Structure 1
Amino acid sequence: MKDKAPKAKPDEDSSQQPRQQHTPSDKEQSIIETEDRIKERENLSDTSDDNSRAGKPPKS
């Protein structure tokens, strides 16, 4: 059962995913942070849309 777990063989994972090994540059870090902010906005808009559909006022 352990053989099927992805973390059971870190050597294969590291060879298949070398990008996780290197430190992200400033540009890459800013892109990652921007994507995170976009996801947060989408999550917030999703909840507000759900509240408006249900006829409830937004929590904020």
Structure 2
Amino acid sequence: MLSTIENVLGKSAIRKNLPMQPGDVEKTCADITKAKTLIGYKPDTNFQNGIKKFMEWFLRK
């Protein structure tokens, strides 16, 4: 996620890498099957474009 934000902004983040904290998870996976079935949810924005749109919105505020 951070590298995507860096690419959108054209800047490098100042990073301070720390060890995993209690409660951190290395990977998560969402299952949107129920949302598709119940409400017809069909996302059409990929991750990179979603981050770009968010950053543009956030910077306008």
TM-score (norm 2): 0.26
Higher helix share: 1
Greater RCO, CA 8 A, separation 6+:
2
CA radius of gyration, larger in:
1
